[in-house]
Amino acid sequence: MVKIIKVDPLAPDPSIIKEASLLIKRGGVVAFPTETLYGLGANALCEKSISKVFQIKGRTDKKPLPILIDRKESLYKYVTSVPEKAKRLIENFWPGVLTIIFNASSNLPLLLTGNTGKIGIRISRNIIAQQLVKQTGIPITATSANISGHKGCKTALEVYEALGYNVDLIIDDGETKGISGSTIVDGTLNPVIIIREGILRFEELKEYL
């Protein structure tokens, strides 16, 4: 039976974050809140865990899974380079709702990148997401907690109804404020291209592109 734990969104119990992080490190999948929608967190360095996320979502493994990292300095472990325009975006929008696509380093499994050689990365400003990544000590997947092609989930109940017992734990901090996912830009291209306009609008980005 999936476990659902209610937490304080501003001051989550450290023992709950620790429990969730241990689950992820042991190969489990945790649904957690972000500032956009609920996401599915799994060990982004473990192919078995990544495969489990694809299975839960019914998502083709040809589509990469985005990841969350704990701090800007960690970025250089997982990408081959950080272009100057991407650096400007990072300085102005991280932590936040902007996912930037980079050329992936060999430290990341090919399955995670969908064999594209590219990876979408961001740092969340949601306290629970931040603490979960930090406690886990490794990047975690951040794909939306839903069946592929269906609408994203804004509450723990919606996650449960969509995914049932396929996840190991759902961290419930109430309803998220997002009506869509993060905005995605491809930082490997020149000029930088917006792949998906989410909560962060084009008007807010264009002066940095």
Q: Tokens representing 162? A: 């969509």
**pLDDT value for 198:** 93
Q: What is the pLDDT along the chain (209 residues), one digit of tens a residue?
A: 799 999 999 999 999 999 999 999 999 999 999 999 999 999 999 999 999 999 999 999 999 999 999 999 999 999 999 999 999 999 999 999 999 999 999 999 999 999 999 999 999 999 999 999 999 999 999 999 999 999 999 999 999 999 988 999 999 999 998 888 999 999 999 899 999 999 999 999 988 88
Domains belonging to the chain, first-starting first, are 3-208 (3.90.870.10)
**pLDDT value for 71:** 96
Element (H, E) at 157: helix 156-163
Q: Which residue has the tokens 């090919």?
A: 110
**pLDDT value for 135:** 98
**pLDDT value for 178:** 80
**pLDDT value for 34:** 97
Say how far apart CA 78 and CA 151 lie, in whole Å: 29
Strands, E assignment, the chain: 3-6, 30-33, 38-41, 67-68, 98-103, 118-122, 140-141, 143-144, 169-172, 183-186, 193-196
Q: Tokens representing 135? A: 């406690």
**pLDDT value for 180:** 86
Single-letter residue type at 45: L
